[in-house]
Structure 1
Amino acid sequence: MIDTAILLAAGAGTRLRSAAESKPLCPVAGKPLIDHAIERMAAAGIARVIVVTGYRAEAIEAHLSARDWPITVEIARSADWRQPNGVSALAAAPLLDGEASLLAMCDHLVAPALYARMAKAGAGDGLKLGIDRRLGHPWIDPEDVTCVATADDRIVAIGKGIEPHDCYDTGVFAVGGAFFDALMELEAPSITEAVRVLTGEGRAGIVDCSDLDWIDVDDPRALAAAEAWLARGD
C-alpha cells in the first residue's frame, strides 16, 4: 500500500490566469486547488505528500507553511519549471528513498477514492495509470486531454490526440523506481515520454477508475464545472 504522494504544483497555468496568478492557489468553491488535493489525499489514507513547486514557488510555499495539514507536507523545488513536467517529478525522487509513490497533478480535482484505489494498486514492475473509459465526458477537453490506448491491463499508446484510443489519462499514477530511471534517460524528461518508455518494455499498467470522478481544472470552463461539482456536495 503506497502512503506517499508527489503533487506537481510547478507549472505556470497560463490558461487559468484570468482566475488566479498561481493555479495551485486558484480558489475552487472557496478553497485553493492545492488544499483540495492535499485534503483529498489525506482522506484517501495518504500519510505524506511531497509538493513540487516552481512558478511562484514562494507564494505557494508560504501558503503551505501557514496551515496545519492532516498529513505530512514536504517541499521540493523544480530545477526549472519551464522544462517538461518530468523535470519537476525528478525533483521529488531524492526524497522517496526508492519507495513507490503516487504521482498526481495539483490542478486535478480528484475523488479521494481514486487516490485510494491507486495507492492500493501499487506501481507493479514499473507504473500504473488511473484511466477513465468514459469517452466524450462533458468535463473533458478533447484538445488537451491525454488519450490512452490499452490492451488487457497494459498501456499500448499514450499521447494527446492519438487515434485510436479507448480511455483517458486521469493524471494519477502509481510509480516506482523504473519510472524515474526512464525520466533520467530522456533528454527532455516528460511524464508522457517516460510512460512511453515503460510501455515499450511492457511495464506500464492501468487501473480502471471510470466509476470515480475527476476533473482537470485547467481553464475557466473547467473551473465552472468543478465549482458545480463541489456545489452538489460530491
Structure 2
Amino acid sequence: MHAMILAAGRGERMRPLTDHTPKPLLCAGGRPLIVHHLERLATAGYRQVVINLAWRGEQIRDHLGEGRPWGLNIRYSPEPEALETGGGIRQALPLLESDPFLVINGDVWCDHPLAPPTLAHDTLAHLVLVDNPPHHPGGDFRLQEGRVHHGVADAAPCLTFSGIGWYRPALFADAPIGAFPLAPLLRQAMDRGQVSGEHHRGQWLDIGTPERLAALDRQLT
C-alpha cells in the first residue's frame, strides 16, 4: 500500500519559524515532524511514500532524499503553488498507484499505528477521528455505526478529523485539475454513505502554532 504525506503548505500560523524552514522540517524530540511520520510508516509496513512539495520544498527533498535511511522509496509531487489538500492529492494520483492509499497531514503528530483498514467495496474514504482539542471544540464530523456524517446534530458526538485517512482514487474521479479543498468531496461521499471511520483515543496533536510545537518537543524530550 502507498502513503502520501501532505507537506506543501506555507505554515502561516508557524511564522516566523516557517519563513526559512518548511513546517514538516521543524523539529520535535530531536527529529523533524516529517521524520516521525516516516518512521511510523516504515514500522506499519509501508514502503512507497509520496510527498507533495511547494513552499521551500527543495529543503524537504534534500533532507529526505529517496528515503533509504527508513527503508522507504520516496517520490515527490512538486506544486508550483500549493494546490490545497484535494488538489494536491488529485495531482499525485499517478504516483500513488494504489487502491486505497493513506494520506496524512505533515503537521500532525499521532500515535495511531497506521494499519490499513478493511474497506467495503463501496467505501471511498476511511477517516481517523479524534477527541476535539481545546482550539477546535466544535469538531468536524460525527461517527455512527462505523460511518462518518456531517450536517445536522444527532445522537452521535462531533469529533475532529485527525488529518489521517485512506482514500480510493474513485473519490477524485470527477475532481478538476488544480487547487481545491478535500472537505467538499468528503461531504458528498458522506451523503452517499461512502465514508467510514474510527475514533482514535490515543495521542494526537495538531502542530499548528509554535506553542504546540514546543509542547510536543517537551513531551518527546
**1:169 aligned to 2:169?**
no
| Structure with greater contact order relative to length (CA < 8 Å, sep ≥ 6) | 2
Rate the CA distance shift 1:208–1:123 in 2: closer, same or farther, 3 A: farther
CA RMSD of aligned residues (A): 2.5
Unaligned runs of 5+ in 1: none
Give the Cα separation in 2 of the matches to 1:146 and 1:91. Answer: 28
**1:225 aligned to 2:218?**
no
Contact persistence 1:121–1:207 (CA under 8 A): no
Runs (4 or more) in structure 1 with deviation over 6 Å come to none
2:117 alignment counterpart:
120
1:149 alignment counterpart:
142
Give the Cα separation in 2 of the matches to 1:61 and 1:204. Answer: 33
1:32 alignment counterpart:
32
Contact persistence 1:130–1:169 (CA under 8 A): yes
Give the Cα separation in 2 of the matches to 1:101 and 1:51. Answer: 13
2:8 alignment counterpart:
10
Superposed CA deviations along residues 203-231 of structure 1, whole A, max 9, x for unmatched, are 01112212x22211110221122123313
Aligned-partner residue type, residue 170 of structure 1 = S
Rate the CA distance shift 1:147–1:104 in 2: closer, same or farther, 3 A: same
**1:62 aligned to 2:62?**
yes
Unaligned runs of 5+ in 2: none
2:191 to 194, 200, 208: 200
Partner SS for 2:141 = strand
Give the Cα separation in 1 of the matches to 2:91 and 2:120. Answer: 19
Rate the CA distance shift 1:188–1:66 in 2: closer, same or farther, 3 A: closer
1:71 alignment counterpart:
72
Give the Cα separation in 1 of the matches to 2:50 and 2:63. Answer: 15
2:182 to 179, 191, 199: 191
Q: Offset of 1:130 from its aligned partner?
A: 0.6
Contact persistence 1:149–1:166 (CA under 8 A): yes
Q: Offset of 1:186 from its aligned partner?
A: 8.8
Give the Cα separation in 2 of the matches to 1:123 and 1:53. Answer: 32
Q: Offset of 1:66 from its aligned partner?
A: 7.6
- Equivalenced residue count is 215
Rate the CA distance shift 1:123–1:61 in 2: closer, same or farther, 3 A: farther
Q: Offset of 1:187 from its aligned partner?
A: 8.1
Partner SS for 2:150 = strand
Contact persistence 1:7–1:50 (CA under 8 A): yes
